[in-house]
Amino acid sequence: MNEAYRPRRSVLYMPGANERALDKAKGLPADGLILDLEDAVAPDAKADARQRVADAIAGGEYGGRELVGRVNGLDSDWFPDDIRAVAAAGPDAVLVPKVGSVDDVRTIETAVEAAGAPDHTRIWAMLETPSAILNAVAIATASERLTGFVMGTNDLVKELRAVRVPGRAPLLPALSWALLAVRDAGKVILDGVYNDLDDAEGFEAECRQGREMGFDGKTLIHPRQLEPCNRIFAPSEAELAEAKEVIEAWDAAQAAGQGGVVTVNGRMIENLHVDEARRTVAQAEAIASRQAG
């Protein structure tokens, strides 16, 4: 299911139990917000946080930011109440952790629809277990309502008994396989979080790696990560200028009947390069529109 490009460079987790944080998020330069009922909320605060998140979603005060509610997992006692409250509030998406099979997707879809979620509310799934990675192709195509995926890299490291190292070598096979599955389905996929808030250099390196791999953006745990993430996942001025040059040369060649290949700055340009250039321009325009709004 291919959707029109929407900026998702930075998608920031916000604790659903923290009313001040939810209010602050209305002014943050994040492309998207995940209002979290899972990891960020203590068990005895779940019920209050659920109502607070549902009210925040329904209030419509977050502008053009994509609004996602993360519920507790399918195997938790909180899932039924979470999904009813969050889905009915009408967010852009409901994010469910530890989705590992097609049956999980079908259960979630049934619950979302039973809650009376509006048509625009999509399902997002976290891929954070070995079963999720091994079943990624089937999961990605299990539902038209399932349009977005978030890598749960912390849980993947734990489940694989791997070591957290710069460059994420132990995770690269899983990240690549998830990307292949999601891209084949024509859907959206976000990279996982970076835990060390004091390691700015490491964070930027991981953002660059994620963008180079093909992720649409990155999930974040603190507002201080927004600026570098937004910058790295956006086309640079040089990339945008080159893209426009490619499109202009291609369109001129087609108008002159010069066939299917042109040369720009000594580089052979084919249809696939023009498609990439048009996507770069569309990204830049969508980001500019998002910032203007």
- Which residues in the chain land under pLDDT 50? 1-2
What is the model's pLDDT at position 56?
Answer: 97
Architecture of domain 10-232: Alpha-Beta Barrel (3.20)
- Can you list the pairs that 99-104 forms with residues at least 24 positions away whose Cβ atoms lie under 8 Å? 99/74, 99/125, 99/126, 99/127, 99/132, 99/139, 100/129, 100/131, 100/132, 100/135, 100/139, 101/131, 101/135, 101/138, 101/139, 102/135, 102/138, 102/139, 102/142, 104/74, 104/139
Bridge partner residues of 34 (DSSP): 13, 68
Token pair 């994509």 is at which residue?
A: 66
Contacts of residue 211, defined as CB under 8 A and 6 or more positions apart, other chains included, come to: 232, 233
Q: How far apart are the first and last CA of the chain?
A: 26
Q: Give how far the C-alpha of residue 47 lies from the chain's centroid of Cα atoms, to the nearest Å.
A: 26
Burial of 118 (0-12, 13-18, 19+ CB in 10 A): exposed
What is the model's pLDDT at position 3?
Answer: 56
What is the model's pLDDT at position 293?
Answer: 60
What is the model's pLDDT at position 1?
Answer: 37
What is the model's pLDDT at position 292?
Answer: 67
What DSSP letter does each residue of 5-46 carry, written as one string? ----SEEEEEETT-HHHHHHGGGS--SEEEEESSTTS-GGGH
pTM of the model: 0.94
Backbone angles phi, psi at 260, to 5 degrees: -100, 10
Token pair 């779940």 is at which residue?
A: 46
pLDDT in tens, 135-189: 999 999 999 999 999 999 999 999 999 999 999 999 999 999 999 999 999 999 9
* Per-residue DSSP letter, 257: T
